[in-house]
């Protein structure tokens, strides 16, 4: 991998804000070697000691939160309010949650054998070693430092490869971690492109990847060569169902926020909406009215929407919208780059007359577009919602709780929000992850930290006898005993047979 430079630009202004050196293959390998040394010290600390350091880290983040928020908005183009209300809030809360709950989730489990009562069995969770995190650009603090927190509490070291578009937030976080009392090199950030990520996969003990399906499959294939564990949170096309008895004001507000927060650049964004025909027109009018009231501008302005972060993603959004228009869709508002804007601003867009023949209803958009489709009933809405190769998040709006739960049970997604949207991501007790092509593994909950561990089973004999029945030598007497015992233990109806020995063997 050749040494090079990466330019980091503000997507809202095109201004260059940093120039960083790309890590070489040797530098990646050295980072992992240093991380291993730090991890050996870190894993010896108790959960309480790790939690204390993490709380110190949080205090430093709070002390520097204005600087971090400035960095976040400069490299993403998102509004300043989102930097505080989404990214920093998530990281602060995650530190508190994992510091409090890691010991509970990773406590050794004492198992009770159903047969071998003379054995003591314990299942324990040990750290994997060095966890590599490969993250996207849409949440450059949440999906880097935020993702590292449970891995650190589990006793691992972490090496982060952030997106080349947004590396500055992770670098800022890692710098503060070095001042918080972590062992040197326990949390590191390496800057680079795809080749840098490949080098990390070749060195780390586990990879946590968030990004596209195409790249996720590449990560999985490369990791398979070393048989290291991988978790993947990939793309999605999350559906929203609105039934005729829904509280429409709440549903419309949820739709606009759930689809357009962070300019729609959220893995769990609402990307397609199915509305029963009885309330379709009213719902569409409400959504359009609310979208038209939104303000879009630079990060420090009082706005709801900033710019998009990636020019390539903006071009993809334009392509999907244009393809839908050619196939007969209509735009009710938006549908273009913001006139006169210098950066990557795409107006919040509402589309109707859409169908599943259009990319806008089948492929991930990851932009500020709300396509709304009329359906005749809940059955059609559910069928179309499940007609996707993705399955990460979803939502259903109805005042009938029984119907809501029935739809939730049948929804082909990793999570379902009832009369709500996106909220599952900020409930750290709730496992989150996708099915189908939306990924493998879970973040949050017990699995969200156990994935950063190797499970080890310890079995101990309680009695200390000279020999076990199944050990050598194998005698005729033992053989006959095993033969009789197998019949006694496992043949169907053996209890009835013992209770009535005069019954014939027929029927057993």
> pLDDT of 362-415, one tens digit each?
999 999 999 999 999 999 999 999 999 999 999 999 999 999 999 999 999 999
Dig out the tokens for 337 from the structure.
């780059």
Cα distances from 105 to residues 125, 132, 508, in angstroms, run: 9, 22, 45
Residue 354: C-alpha distances to residues 265, 311, 425 (Å)? 21, 25, 28
- Going by pLDDT thresholds of 50, 70 and 90, the confidence category of residue 2 is very low
Q: What is the pLDDT of residue 500?
A: 59
- Rounded to the nearest integer, the mean pLDDT of the chain is 96
Query: Do 208 and 354 fall within a single domain?
Result: no
Q: In the chain, helix, strand, coil percent, each to 5?
A: 45, 20, 35
Are 432 and 425 a contacting pair, CB within 8 Å? Answer: yes
Q: Inform me whether the pLDDT recorded for 258 exceeds 90.
A: yes
**What proportion of the chain, given as a percentage, has pLDDT over 70?**
96
Instruction: Give percent of the chain above pLDDT 90.
Output: 96
Distance CA 481, CA 476 (A): 9
For 114-150, write each residue's pLDDT tens digit.
999 999 999 999 999 999 999 999 999 999 999 999 9
Give 290's contacts (C-beta < 8 A, 6+ positions apart).
Answer: 252, 253, 256
In a domain, 318, yes or no: yes
The answer on 337 and 217 residing in a single domain is no
507: pLDDT strictly greater than 50 = no
Residue pair 261/271 in contact (Cβ under 8 Å)? The answer is no
Sign of CA dihedral 31, 33, 38, 44: positive
- 302: number of Cβ within 10 Å: 9
| Domain assignment of residue 8, yes or no | no
Catalytic residues: 233, 267
Whether residue 436 lies inside any domain: the answer is no
Q: What pairs with residue 239 in β-bridges?
A: 272
In a domain, 256, yes or no: yes
Closest CA to 247 of 402, 405, 397, 416: 397
Do residue 205 and residue 332 come from a single domain?
no
Q: Are residues 228 and 243 in the same domain?
A: no
- How confident is the model at residue 497, as a pLDDT? 54
DSSP helix/strand/coil, 318: helix
408 and 502 belong to one structural domain: no
For the chain, the straight-line distance linking the first and the last C-alpha, in angstroms and rounded, comes to 69
- The structural domain count of the chain equals 3
What's the CATH code of the domain at 81?
A: 3.40.605.10
Are 452 and 304 in a shared domain? no
Read off the pLDDT of residues 111-124 as tens digits, 9 standing for 90 and up.
999 999 999 999 99
Residues 81 and 18 in one domain: yes
Q: Are residues 499 and 477 in the same domain?
A: yes
Specify whether 218 is located in the same domain as 266.
Answer: no
3 state SS for 68-83: HHHHHHHHHCCCHHHH
CA dihedral defined by 435, 439, 441, 443, rounded to 10 degrees?
-100
Encode pLDDT of 388-403 as tens digits: 999 999 999 999 999 9
Q: Distance (Å, rounded) from C-alpha 87 to C-alpha 91?
A: 6
pLDDT of 506 > 70? The answer is no
User: Residue 508: is its pLDDT beyond 80?
Assistant: no
Q: Each residue of 415-468: pLDDT tens digit?
A: 999 999 999 999 999 999 999 999 999 999 999 999 999 999 999 999 999 999
pLDDT at 499: 53
Residues of the domain holding 163: 14-234+445-456
Residues 12, 345 contacting (CB under 8 angstroms) = yes
Q: What is the pLDDT of residues 206-225, one digit of tens each?
A: 999 999 999 999 999 999 99
Instruction: Write the CA distances from 351 to 284, 329, 376, 377, integer angstroms.
Output: 9, 7, 18, 20
Confidence of residue 492 (pLDDT cuts 50, 70, 90): confident
Residue 464 in domain? no
Going through 105-205 in order, the beta strands assigned E by DSSP cover 109-111, 119-127, 130-134, 157-161, 187-189
Residues 248 and 212 in one domain: no
Residue 374 and residue 262 share a domain: yes
Instruction: Taking residues 179-201, report their average pLDDT.
Output: 97
Is residue 465 one of the residues assigned to a domain? no
CB 140 within 8 A of CB 72: yes
What pLDDT band is residue 505 in, cutting at 50, 70 and 90? very low
Residue 416, SS3 per DSSP:
coil
* pLDDT exceeds 90 at position 501: no
pLDDT digits (tens, 9 = 90+) for 268-280: 999 999 999 999 9
Do residues 135 and 210 lie in contact, with contact meaning Cβ atoms separated by under 8 Å? yes
Are residue 283 and residue 183 in the same domain, yes or no?
no
- Give the domain CATH number at 311: 3.40.309.10
Query: Considering the domain boundaries, does residue 466 fall inside one?
Result: no
Question: Is 99 inside any structural domain?
Answer: yes
């Amino acid at each position: 991998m050749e040494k090079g430079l990466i330019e980091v630009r503000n997507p809202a202004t095109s201004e260059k804000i940093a120039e960083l050196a790309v890590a070489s293959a040797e530098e990646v390998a050295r980072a992992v070697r240093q991380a291993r040394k730090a991890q050996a010290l870190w894993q010896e600390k108790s959960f309480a000691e790790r939690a204390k350091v993490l709380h110190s880290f949080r205090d430093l983040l709070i002390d520097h939160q204005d600087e971090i928020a400035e960095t976040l908005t400069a490299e993403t183009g998102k509004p300043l309010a989102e930097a505080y209300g989404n990214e920093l809030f998530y990281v602060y809360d995650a530190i508190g949650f994992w510091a409090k709950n890691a010991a509970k989730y990773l406590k050794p489990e004492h198992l009770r054998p159903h047969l071998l009562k003379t054995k003591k069995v314990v299942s324990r969770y040990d750290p994997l070693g060095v966890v590599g995190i490969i993250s996207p650009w849409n949440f450059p603090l949440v999906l880097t430092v935020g993702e590292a927190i449970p891995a650190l509490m589990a006793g691992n070291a972490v090496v982060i490869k952030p997106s080349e578009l947004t590396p500055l937030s992770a670098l800022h976080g890692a710098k503060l971690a070095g001042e918080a009392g972590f062992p040197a090199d326990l949390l590191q950030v390496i800057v680079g492109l795809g080749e840098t990520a490949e080098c990390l996969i070749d060195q780390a003990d586990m990879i946590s990847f968030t990004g596209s399906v195409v790249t996720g499959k590449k990560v999985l294939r490369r990791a398979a060569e070393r048989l290291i564990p991988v978790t993947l949170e990939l793309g999605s096309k999350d559906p929203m169902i609105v039934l005729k008895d829904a509280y429409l004001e709440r549903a419309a507000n949820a739709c606009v926020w759930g689809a357009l927060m962070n300019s729609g650049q959220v893995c769990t964004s609402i990307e397609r909406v199915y509305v029963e025909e009885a309330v379709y027109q009213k719902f569409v009018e409400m959504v359009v009215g609310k979208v038209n009231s939104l303000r879009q501008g630079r990060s420090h302005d009082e706005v709801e929407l900033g710019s998009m972060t990636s020019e390539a993603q903006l071009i993809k959004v334009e392509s999907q919208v244009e393809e839908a228009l050619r196939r007969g869709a209509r735009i009710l508002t938006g549908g273009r780059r913001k006139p006169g804007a210098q950066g990557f601003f795409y107006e919040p867009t509402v589309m109707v007359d859409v169908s599943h023949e259009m990319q806008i209803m089948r492929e991930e958009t990851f932009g500020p577009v709300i396509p709304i489709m009329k359906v005749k009933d809940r059955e059609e809405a559910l069928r179309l919602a499940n007609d996707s190769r993705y399955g990460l998040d979803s939502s259903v709006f109805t005042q009938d709780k029984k119907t809501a739960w029935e739809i939730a049970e049948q929804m082909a997604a990793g999570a379902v929000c009832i009369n709500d949207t996106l909220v599952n991501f900020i409930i750290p007790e709730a496992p989150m992850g996708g099915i189908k092509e939306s990924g493998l593994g879970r973040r949050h909950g017990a699995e969200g930290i156990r994935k950063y561990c190797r499970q080890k089973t310890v079995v101990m004999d309680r009695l200390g006898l000279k020999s076990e029945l199944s050990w050598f030598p194998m005698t005729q007497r033992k053989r006959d005993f095993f033969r009789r015992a197998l019949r006694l233990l496992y043949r169907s109806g053996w209890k009835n047979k013992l209770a009535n020995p005069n019954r014939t063997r027929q029927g057993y």
